[in-house]
Amino acid sequence: METVLNIKELKVWFYTRRGIFRALNGVNLILRKGEVLGIAGESGSGKSTLGLSIMALLPYNAVIIKGGSIYIKSKNTLETFDLFDESQLRRKFSMRKNRRIMNKISNSLSKLRGKLVSMVFQEPMTSLNPLLQVGYQIAETIVAHNSSYLAKRILSRIKVTNSDLKEVLNLVTSSNNVEDELKRYAKNKGLEGIESQILYILGRKDLSRTRKERAILTLKEKKKNFLTMNYLKRVAENRSLGIYSILDRLPFVKRFFSRILLKEGYRRAVELLSLLNIPHAEKVVYMYPHELSGGMRQRVAIAIAISNNPDIIILDEPTSALDVIVQNQILQLISELKSKFNLSFIFISHDLSVLAEVCDRIAIMYGGRIVEVAPIDKIFYEPLHPYTKGLIKAIPKITKESMTLESIPGTVPDMRNPPSGCMFHPRCPYAMEICRKQIPKSIEYNKDHFVECFLYGEQ
Amino acid sequence: MSKELGLIGRRNYLLKRNPRLDELKISFKIFFSNPTAVAGLVITLLYFIDTFLVQFFPWAIGIHDPNQYIINPYNPVPTPPSPQHPLGTTYGGIDLLDAILKSIRVDVEYTLLIVLSGALIGLVLGLVSGFFGGIMDEILMRITDIFFSIPYLVLAIAIIFVLGRSLDIVALSLIIVWWPLYARYARGQTLSIKQMTFIEAAKAAGTRDFWIMFRHIIPNVLPPIFVQISLDLGVVVGVFSTLTFIGFSPTANIPELGYLTSLGLNFVSIAPWAVIIPGLVITIFALAVNLMGDGLRDVIDPRRRSV
Amino acid sequence: MKLWLYIVRRLLLIIPTLIGLTLITFILIHVQGNNLIIAEYLNPHLTGAARDYAIQQLYQRFHLNDPLYIQYMYWLIQVLNGDLGFTRTPIYSGPVTTALALFYPNTIMLAVISSILIWIIGIPIGVWSAVKRDSLFDQSMRVVTFTLYAMPPYLVYLLVLIVFAVYLSLFPISGAVNPLLLQGIDWYSNGISYPTHIVFIDALLHGNFAIALDSIWHFILPSIGLALGGVAGIIRLLRSSMLEVLDQDYIRMARSKGIREKYVINTHARRNALIPALTSFVYGFAGLLGGVVVTETIFNIPGVGYWTVQALLNNDAGGIMGSTLIFGIILVTASLILDLIYAAIDPRVRY
């Protein structure tokens, strides 16, 4: 299976007035294509920082230590940067230099964001711009990364003829594998872009059969004026824009050009939203975030994240701000997306029960390191790391007779003064002498089951 | 419990700390770690010292007639800075250094009067109306709205027109212009503090209204008001001198920085110092006071305090 | 539909404010007693019995014998009918309404030009200062605005005057327009130009570019002065507002979408930052109207502020009343427009 994300020994520390906060202390993680990887951990374990580091969206006081690497599709995003060494931190550190480095990393990654990696945040209300329409916020992502796709769609609608559409109708009613047939058909006729539009209409649940057919037949559009057609052709073929790049700058004129792509973006947004089971998507795209409920907002955020088919989608506690029923809906949505489109997700949460619903593998984070990674049933039924064991035991079960809640003794370590050696040793019932002295390395104890603990072998 | 601890010895005596004192110490530390704020404080103090001296001991710095300018009828033309007149002279042969020292006192005294009175009135009204709400609050809001709907200069001019043109009236008119600002501000603060849960808790515990107001609300409303006061000192001194500059002080020869500037106005092309220097004196005061206010703001900002 | 309700509600709220405004103005004038009114309308040459008779007539005419609130009523009616009284100052004597028509255009020109300057200069600097936080640009701008803010307004204008007009001799020192150019122009008579009363616009309308240019030339300096005074506040405000916005989640979200930084700032951040600044803009505009008084005095522009000052110095009740009223009405209108703009721009307000 293909690996989409490979993190090696990632160390990220925060410079605060109260000291250096060691958020990530050598994270090793792999994400494979088409899987949902859950990251579980308590507050302060660094899970959000991990997500932000992959996206390079860290605040200015975050310092990425030299020696770590993040490989997104075999390209190291942290390469070529003159990062600080651990030893340099005491003397040679300067906030200004760090800010410059963080800016550079962020800028270099900005081309990948939205296209290869995207993120969904915890609070849906604040993560959407309250002044812009929801549809605009979805459309702008698509226009920014995939404008040729949008242009192709428009062109296909212009190019298609009524007889073509009738052929399509016959195809749809007669064939079994509608999607592939349509794709082939569209390719043959040079009408790329029309298949998704047709599929959308077919997929709508609020139209009757005849209505759908009528809708398909109305896909045909008239030819636009010469300038616009030329512009669209150029965008669709990714050719240079020539004179349009100048026209694009003029504040008044550019409305005509960028408008058309944006409008198409709105259409695509409608398709995406109905994919995510939002009713009346055509109306919703024109609404503002405060007019929508929490669940719908989060779905909008997910739509934004998946709109360009990224390889990695990071979900940072997407359901923590929602009520349980909506939570369930969103989780089901994620499973659907995974199976339909083979997307890969990283699901960050502190709630193991939520992760149990939707993940293929779970990684347990503690003290800025991944202490255990395993397929889901192994984590729940055969946990290896003492911390994991404690977490599983702490989940209250209805069937148990005793009323006492199990918990892990002690508190989360203060990451400004982390304990030496293994982070968990002060609270671990199995702590040994070596646990105090060395940090355990990751070993594959069972198939695809990694753990960092001295209980499972000398390193 | 402290008695038991006291038995064990000196170390535990030290445990009996005074949290208020610690807070005060932190405040000082924050304020004095800010170099611009300290500079502001120093300069402001200099102005205050001048005021104090001219008010009570003018002879100590060589001022013989603190309430008037010394006109030199023999040489009424402004002269540039020279050894006898370190800052030059302005129209009427008035020595600038001497004039400025006198004027600072007048300006500072009036400004303090205006800001403190306005703040006091506004604070009381805002606090009471914000706390008790109801019709009183509505009326206050309408009244402040009306006052806000007239540009302050025009209102001040109108009041001066009615009551007469003297420095005291100018000050009075500014007080009238200024208090709605404080009333609004105090009311806003009171309202937001009232929302906080600890007020609810106090009410639930049965504390009486006035007690709540004094012990809980006022200490929380005062710090931002103090900051506002210190910032306003700079603004008011500017407005006050503007009014006197335009000519609303009586024709008598009262030392005041705006008036001083207006004296030099006719000679602007040949003697710019007569106009610039008094203006600069005000500017420096306003700058100093603003820097100090910013420093104070840092002190009361809870984010800065959690060291 | 809801928008209209909002507008209507807002308009209704104005009425008590306007009443209060007129009340204050009325009280101000009549606190001094009836002498002022009499002094205005009385022919000073009368003596003896004729004088007493004239005074009697005036008492009748202005209902000065009636209780105050009735006088207020009459005065209000008089105002609403368009008669704002009489003014008598060295620069102009006549009905207040004519005086306003005479002086107003210049003040409007000043206020508008300076506002435009303030916004054009202030907004980009404020936004950029926040984006490039703590850079050399940001820090130097902070120092500059801090100093400007601390200066008393008249000092700013004086400095502008000294530097540009005296030393560099670039601009004229005073006046609104060169009177020599205006001789023989048919659309200008007795100080009032037609149709819009604003010399600059009328000159353009009539195709006379020389006069238009001259008019602008006279106005630039005071506008720069006013602008400098106002720009400090705007920059500060926008900077802090922008900083707050940039910390928000949706900015992080926009970046995570892969949108170029330029668009993030322009489309997402700036819009949100401008909203809290809007209130300040409008009150700043109102403050401009106040500051205009000083500017007009220094630069000798015959505008409403100048007239107000003259009225004060000459104990002219009509003038004071008229200008107070007008200024108040402008501010109230501006406040109303502000609320309407808010409703139009911020979708959250509408519901």
- pLDDT tens for residues C13-24? 777 777 777 777
Looking at residue B17, its pLDDT comes to 59
Q: Give the whole-angstrom CA distance, residue B64 versus residue C230.
A: 40
Question: How far is A349 from A51, CA to CA, in rounded Å?
Answer: 11
Q: Identify the closest residue of chain B to C25 by CA–CA distance.
A: B158
Whether residue C139 sits in one domain with residue C230 = yes
Residues 17-36 of C with CB under 8 A from B: 17, 20-21, 24-25, 28-29, 31-32
Chain B residue numbers with beta carbons less than 8 Å from the beta carbon of C313 are 247
Q: Which residue of C has its CA nearest to B36?
A: C143
The reply to whether C58 and C184 lie within a common domain is: no
Cα C153 to Cα B241: distance, rounded to the nearest angstrom: 9
What are A57-83's pLDDT values in tens digits?
888 888 888 888 888 887 887 877 777
Residues C186 and C82 both lie in one domain: no
Predicted confidence at residue B192, as pLDDT, reads: 78
Residue C42, classed as helix, strand or coil, is coil
Angle at B195 between CA B194 and CA B197, to 5 degrees: 100
Mean pLDDT for chain B?
77
Average pLDDT, chain C: 75
Residue C4 lies in a domain: no
Top mean pLDDT of A50-54, A413-417, B132-136, C64-68 is at A50-54
Tell me what pLDDT residue C189 has: 65
Write out the two tokens for B100: 């400025």
Res. B180: pLDDT tops 70:
yes
Write down the pLDDT at residue B3.
45
C82 and C109 assigned to the same domain: no
Tell me how close the Cα of B208 comes to any Cα of chain C, in angstroms: 35
**Listed residue (C180, C155, C111, C165) closest to C326, CA to CA:** C111
Which pLDDT value is given to residue C37? Answer: 61
Residues 179-238, chain C, touching B (beta carbon < 8 A): none
Asked if the structure places residue C6 within a domain, the reply is no
Residue in A112, A118, A131 nearest the CB of C347: A131
Chain C residue with Cα closest to A106: C255
Residue of C nearest to B283 (CA): C151
Nearest to A237 by CA among A158, A342, A155: A155
Phi, psi of A45 (to 5 degrees): -80, -10
- The reply to whether C1 falls in a domain is no
In 3D space, the residue among B299, B297, B293, B295 whose CA is nearest the CA of residue B230 turns out to be B293
* Range C269-273 average pLDDT: 85
Last residue of a domain, one of C35, C70, C94: C94
Mean pLDDT lowest among A409-418, B292-301, C332-341: C332-341
* Beta bridge pairs of residue A62: A14
Cβ <8 Å between C258 and A129: no
Contact yes or no for A291 and C351 at CB 8 A: yes
- Give the CA distances from residue B44 to residues B51, B101, C14, C113, in Å, rounded to whole numbers and listed in that order: 11, 14, 42, 36
Task: Give the chain C residue whose CA is nearest to the CA of A290.
Answer: C348
Contacts of range C245-252, beta carbons closer than 8 Å, 24 or more positions apart: C245/C269, C245/C272, C245/C273, C246/C130, C246/C131, C248/A126, C248/C272, C249/A121, C249/A123, C249/A126, C249/A127, C250/A126, C250/A127, C250/A128, C250/A129, C250/A130, C252/A57, C252/A121, C252/A127
Whether C253 and chain A come into contact, CB under 8 Å, resolves to yes
Give which of C30, C151, C168 to mutate to test B binding, by max B Cβ within 10 Å. C151
CA–CA dist C141, C235 (Å, integer): 9
Chain C: nearest CA to A301, how far in angstroms?
9
Q: Which of chain C's residues have a Cβ under 8 Å away from the Cβ of A115?
A: 258
Shared domain for C230 and C289, answered yes or no, is yes
Domain boundaries, chain B: 97-307
Instruction: Find, among C318, C307, C311, the residue nearest to C85 by Cα.
Output: C318
CA–CA separation, C134 and C129 (whole Å): 8
Are residues C309 and B142, on separate chains, in Cβ contact within 8 Å?
no
CB contacts of B159 in chain C (<8 Å) are 28
Q: Which domain holds residue C72?
A: 11-94
Q: Which of C35, C6, C28, C7 is nearest to C328 (CA)?
A: C28
Q: Contact C258/A304, CB-based, under 8 Å?
A: no
CA angle B122, B123, B126 (to 5 degrees): 80
Encode pLDDT of A226-267 as tens digits: 777 777 787 787 777 777 777 766 766 666 667 888 888 999
- Percentage of residues in chain B with pLDDT exceeding 90? 3
Q: Between C150, C287, C311, which is nearest B290 by CB?
A: C150
In a domain, C112, yes or no: yes
Q: Which of the 8 DSSP states describes residue A191?
A: -
Closest-CA distance, C285 to chain B, in angstroms, reads 10
A vs C, Cβ pairs < 8 A, gives 79
- Per the DSSP assignment, residues forming a β-bridge with A75 are A72
Please give the tally of structural domains in chain C.
2
d(CA C226, CA C229): 5
Q: Which residues fall within 8 angstroms of residue B37, CB to CB, at 6 or more apart?
A: B31, B291, B292, B294, B295, B296, B298
pLDDT over threshold 50, residue A19: yes
pLDDT tens-digit map of C87-124 = 666 666 667 777 777 777 777 778 888 888 888 888 88
Residue B7, pLDDT > 50, answer no
In the numeric block, the tokens 């502020």 are attached to C305
- C348 has a pLDDT exceeding 90: no
Chain A residues with CB within 8 Å of chain C CB:
55, 57, 106-107, 110-115, 118-119, 121, 123, 126-132, 140-141, 144-145, 288, 290-291, 301, 304
Confidence of residue B8 (pLDDT cuts 50, 70, 90): very low
Q: How far apart (Å, rounded) are the C-alpha atoms in residues A293 and A300?
A: 11
Which one of C52, C75, C94 terminates a domain?
A: C94
Contact residues, chain C, for B170 at CB < 8 Å: none
CATH fold group of domain B97-307: MetI-like fold (1.10.3720)
The residues, any chain, with a CB within 8 Å of residue C98's CB and separated by 6 or more, are none
* pLDDT at position B2: 42
Q: What is the mean pLDDT of residues B240-266?
A: 74
Residue with tokens 């300290």: B38
Task: Please name which of C149, C146, C150 lies closest in space to residue B284, comparing C-alpha atoms.
Answer: C150
Q: Which pLDDT band holds residue A360 (cuts at 50, 70, 90)?
A: very high
Identify which of A55, A126, A140 has the shortest CB distance to residue C256: A55
Q: Quick one: pLDDT at residue A410?
A: 80
* C119 and C166 share one domain: yes
Whole-angstrom distance, CA of residue C84 vs CA of residue C326: 10
Closest approach of B195 to chain C, Cα-based (Å): 22
Q: Label the pairing between strands C86-88 and C93-95.
A: antiparallel
The pLDDT score that the predictor gives to residue B6 is 39
Q: Do B242 and C153 touch (CB under 8 A)?
A: yes
Tell which C residues from 273 to 302 touch B, by Cβ distance under 8 Å. 283, 286-287, 289-291, 293-294, 297-298
Q: Does C226 lie in the same domain as C144? A: yes
Whether C277 and C344 map to the same domain: the answer is yes
Region B77-105: mean pLDDT is 76
Alpha helices in chain B (DSSP H): 2-8, 10-15, 19-32, 35-56, 96-132, 134-148, 152-163, 167-195, 197-204, 209-212, 218-246, 257-264, 272-300, 302-305
Ranked by mean pLDDT, the top range of B265-274, C130-139, C283-292 is C130-139
Whether C312 and B290 lie within 8 Å, measured CB to CB? no
**Of the residues C69, C94, C119, which one is the last residue of a structural domain?**
C94
DSSP result, C86-97: EEE-SS-EEEHH
Co-location of C137 and C151 in the same domain:
yes
Contact B162 C32 (CB under 8 A): yes
- Bond from prior residue into B66 cis (ω within 30 degrees of 0): no
Query: Residues with Cβ < 8 Å from C53, sequence gap 6 or more?
Result: none
Question: Could you give the CA distance from residue B92 to residue B260 in angstroms, rounded to a whole number?
Answer: 11
Beta bridge partners of C24: none
Task: Name the DSSP class of A242.
Answer: T
User: Which of residues A246 and B179 earns the better pLDDT score?
Assistant: B179
Q: Compute the mean pLDDT over every residue in chain A, rounded to the nearest whole number.
A: 84
Mean pLDDT over B31-50 rounds to 85
pLDDT of residue B302: 63
Interval A346-359 mean pLDDT: 90
Confirm if C92 and C102 have CB atoms less than 8 A apart: yes
Amino acid A21 reads F
Percentage of residues of chain C with pLDDT beyond 70: 71
C288 & C327 share domain? yes
Q: Grade residue C40 by pLDDT with cuts at 50, 70 and 90.
A: low
**pLDDT band (50, 70, 90) for residue B117:** very high
**Strand intervals (E) in chain C:** 86-88, 93-95, 188-189, 192-193
Q: Residue A360: what residue type?
A: D
Q: Is C205 helix (H, G, I), strand (E, B) or coil?
A: helix
Say if C187 falls within a structural domain.
yes
- Separation in Å, CA C51 to CA C31, C39, C318: 24, 12, 22
Collapse the DSSP code of A74 into the 3-class scheme (helix H, G, I; strand E, B; otherwise coil) and give the result.
Answer: coil
The partner residue sitting opposite B149, judged by closest CB among C21, C29, C151, is C21
A271-308 per-position pLDDT tens digit: 899 888 888 888 999 988 888 888 889 999 999 998 98
* Whether residue C216 sits in one domain with residue C269: yes
What are the chain C neighbours of A77 within 8 Å (beta carbons)? none
In a domain, C3, yes or no: no
- Nearest CA to A376 out of A355, A354, A397 is that of A355
CATH code assigned at C329: 1.10.3720.10
What do you get for the CA distance between the two ends of chain A, in Å?
28
Give the pLDDT confidence score for residue A459 in this predicted structure. 57
In angstroms, the CA A71 to CA A291 distance is 39
With 70 as the cut, is the pLDDT of residue A138 above it?
yes
Terminal CA-CA length for chain B: 29
Poorest-pLDDT segment among A379-393, B184-198, B209-223: B209-223
CA pair distance B116, A424, nearest whole angstrom: 59
Chain C partners (3+ C-beta pairs within 8 A): A, B
Average pLDDT of the residues in B176-197: 82
> Rounded to whole angstroms, how far apart are CA atoms B58 and B65?
8
ipTM given for this complex: 0.81
Whether C5 is covered by a domain: the verdict is no
Average the pLDDT over A194-208 and give the result. 79
Q: Least CA distance to A51: which residue of chain C? A: C256
Average pLDDT over residues A400-427: 80
Whether residues C208 and C341 share a domain: the answer is: yes
Interface partners of chain A (CB pairs < 8 Å, 3 or more) are C
User: Three-state secondary structure along A354-379?
Assistant: HHHHHCCEEEEEECCEEEEEEEHHHH
